[in-house]
Structure 1
Amino acid sequence: MTLQDHHGRRFNYLRLSVTDVCNFSCNYCLPDGYQCSDSTPPLSVDEIRRVVTAFARQGTRKIRITGGEPSVRRDLPEIIRTVAAVPGIDDIALTTNGWKLPTFLPGWIDAGLTRLNVSIDSLDPRQFKAITGHDRLQDLLDGLAMAHERGFDDIKVNAVLMRGHNADQLPHFLNWIRTTPVSLRFIELMQTSDNQEFFEENHISGDSIKAQLLDSGWQAALRKSTDGPAQEFWHPDYAGRIGLIMPYSKDFCSSCNRLRVSANGQLHLCLFGDKGYDFRHLLGRDEQITDVIAFLQDSLNEKKATHALHDGDTGVRTHFAGIGG
């Protein structure tokens, strides 16, 4: 069985948020810090197990645990261990801001984590602090070194390039991955309902970066079926790779292979959709997993062919902390 929509797209990748809380205050996401707007507790470990089981029975093989910041949950190792034990799941990734990464990472790896994504928006400590609100860059770099030592060979680093903040860092990032074997993901700044002015002042087209890469000898890499939305490039002179996530590019949505579940148990068919589909009431008992599967299949009938970002329609999304980007 495979989850498939009316546009022929198959979904084998779930982005699962386990909290909407974030302890960073990145200027492009939560410039005023986390503001609690919903007292609903996040999904429990048992509820998470039932969500993942339902998706796995429909062909999902990759789970990305997101937030907010997942590490604010003290039971994150238990969550990872629970997801890893679900039959059919063979790829467990985590996206984190890297808070206390050297402290937490060994426990995550021992629990079954297979992939790691860390956000690093600047390699300059002062600029990193200006963007995120925290002086934690060295923690992240130490954590990446530890991941390499533990045998991780597919580490991704996310960076949002912004005209007025870190656009001048591109050469520094490129120099870094000459000897650092990570996949560096440049993410286009995306418009939300509350950042229009910031977006207009700071948005950089991913197409312009792509042109620079191709002119410098970078080559497009082959995609795997469980890959995310990035267009990835490699160069024989570099230990690392570069990925570009460009939601404003032509046909960005045609290769969509992922669905999202928020920390409060809502299915989101698109990051920029106009609503979430609540199914937490179906997560109380294992016997209801078949009902969850039916719900997923029915909901996919409403998935649209593409987002409407080009028309300035950002859906219900005010920021990405509650759904993991």
Structure 2
Amino acid sequence: MLIDTYGRVATDLRVSLTDRCNLRCTYCMPEEGLSWLAKPDLLTDEEIVRLVRVAVTALGVTEVRFTGGEPLLRPGLVGIVQECAALEPRPQLSLTTNGIGLGRTAAALKEAGLDRVNVSLDTLRPEVFKTLTRRDRHQDVLAGLAAAHEAGLTPVKVNSVLMPGHNADEAPDLLAWAVAHDYELRFIEQMPLDAQHGWKREGMITAGDILASLRTRFTLTEEAGERGSAPAERWLVDGGPHRVGVIGSVTRPFCAACDRTRLTADGQIRTCLFASEETDLRAALRSGAPDEELARIWRQAMWGKKAGSGLDDPSFLQPQRPMSAIGG
């Protein structure tokens, strides 16, 4: 198992397939000038599948989520999904995407073995989308969501970040739209992972702000049962069956129950989204290390995981890598 000194067991693996993206969201990337990882530094398709196999068969991982950057830009994505779906025991496979390429790939991904998707969409207004993402692709995301739903990649989850001065008033509209289309909406607090390091705690829209806005139109009932390691706090909308989630990484951290381990596109293990340290698996992999040695390195890295992200500490320093290079 991937266990740390606090007794937490990592069963959820986030695999970044690329640091590249076809959007330039203001809270993630600058409009220009971001250097991409060199192709020789990226793990190959075969290396990714091998490390996922080690995680699943030797380290107790039961869920694998493919992220980016934008993972749909990875040419070998369908093949990677297919090989990971064939592992024994079979892990649950999901994908976090901006949705732009889902219209043409959703059916193939479902056939390859993908179970579900999370799609990022912050606004229902095309002009606001263009401002936030610096690209005019709003209709493509809506088409991708519809294709994912039609292909059976359900529940289709929609991730939204609210930004002051842009879409701060859209929470109720987004939820009404998600309920009407049978999507599960999750609001995510803006996190300090932008490449330009422009994040500020002051003025950010908090989980509390989001819930207060939603309650102006909906009755929210906290979902019964243990939250467990789920990052989102979930509420039934007007008695159900639809739900809405809020991920308060900054103001309502859930580190004590964290069950995640992360693999970057260039083969580094990260124990936390906000970690400042990484452990190199790629070097061992390419030097001929057997699976047992790769598993040992991974276990040792996770054993040293810190108690929390440190976001609630005034001395917190943002990681050097942006979200696009870490993997969501």
TM-score, normalized by length of structure 2? Answer: 0.90
Alignment counterpart, residue 254 of structure 1, candidates 249, 253, 256? 256
**Alignment identity in percent?**
35
Q: Residue 274 of structure 1 is aligned with which of 263, 273, 276?
A: 276
Going from structure 1 to structure 2, the CA distance change for 1:250 and 1:237 (only over 3 Å counts) comes to: closer
Give secondary structure in 2 for the equivalent of 1:247. coil
Per the alignment, residue 267 of structure 2 pairs with 265
Q: Is the deviation greater in 85-94 or in 204-213?
A: 204-213
Alpha-carbon shift at residue 195 of structure 1 (Å): 4.9
- Looking at structure 1, the residues matched to 85 and 227 of structure 2 have their Cα atoms a distance apart, in angstroms, of 20
| 8 Å Cα contact 2:126/2:138 also seen in 1 | yes
Shift of residue 316, structure 1, vs aligned partner: 2.4
Alignment CA distance shift 1:228-1:135 (3 Å) = farther
Q: Which whole-Å CA distance do the structure 1 matches of 2:153 and 2:225 have between them?
A: 20
Partner of 1:117: 118
Structure 1 residue identity aligned to 2:23: F
Aligned partners of 2:268 and 2:278 also within 8 Å: yes
Secondary structure of 1:32's partner? Answer: coil
Q: Give the match's secondary structure for 1:14.
A: strand
Greater CA drift, 115-124 or 82-91: 82-91
Contact residue 6 and residue 301 of structure 1 kept, 8 A: yes
d(CA) in 2 for partners of 1:149, 1:237: 26
Range with bigger deviation, 131-140 or 253-262:
131-140
Matches within 5 A, 1:75-224: 75-192=76-193, 195=196, 197-200=198-201, 202-213=203-214, 216-221=218-223
- Measure, in 2, the Cα distance between the counterparts of 1:156 and 1:34: 31
Q: Does structure 2 conserve the Cα–Cα contact (< 8 Å) formed by 1:182 and 1:241? A: no
Paired amino acid for 1:49:
V
Q: Distance in 2 between matches of 1:193 and 1:157?
A: 20
**Change in CA separation of 1:141 and 1:152 when aligned onto 2, cut-off 3 Å:** same
* Cα pair 2:124 2:174 within 8 Å, conserved: yes
Deviation of the 1:113 alpha carbon: 0.7
3-state SS in 2 of match to 1:65: strand
Query: 1 CA distance for matches of 2:64 and 2:32?
Result: 27
Using the TM superposition, give the Cα deviation of residue 117 of structure 1 relative to its aligned residue in structure 2, in angstroms: 0.7
Query: Match of 2:323?
Result: 320
Where 1:24 maps in the other structure, the secondary structure is coil
Equivalent residue, structure 2, for 1:295: 297
Alignment RMSD, CA only? Answer: 2.4
Unaligned runs of 5+ in 1: none
1:61 aligned residue: 62
Once the two structures are superposed, what CA deviation does each residue of 1:61-114 show, in whole Å capped at 9, x if it has no partner?
100000111111111111111211221233100011112321121221111110
- In 2, Cα distance between equivalents of 1:226 and 1:19: 29
For 1:85 and 1:276, the matched residues in 2 are separated by 29
Q: 1:28 to 1:45 in 2, by over 3 A?
A: same
Is the 1:193–1:314 contact (alpha carbons within 8 Å) kept by the matching residues of 2?
no
Gaps of 5+ in 2: none
Which AA in structure 1 matches 2:113?
A: G
Query: Aligned pair in 2 of structure 1 residues 212, 129: CA closer, same or farther (>3 Å)?
Result: closer
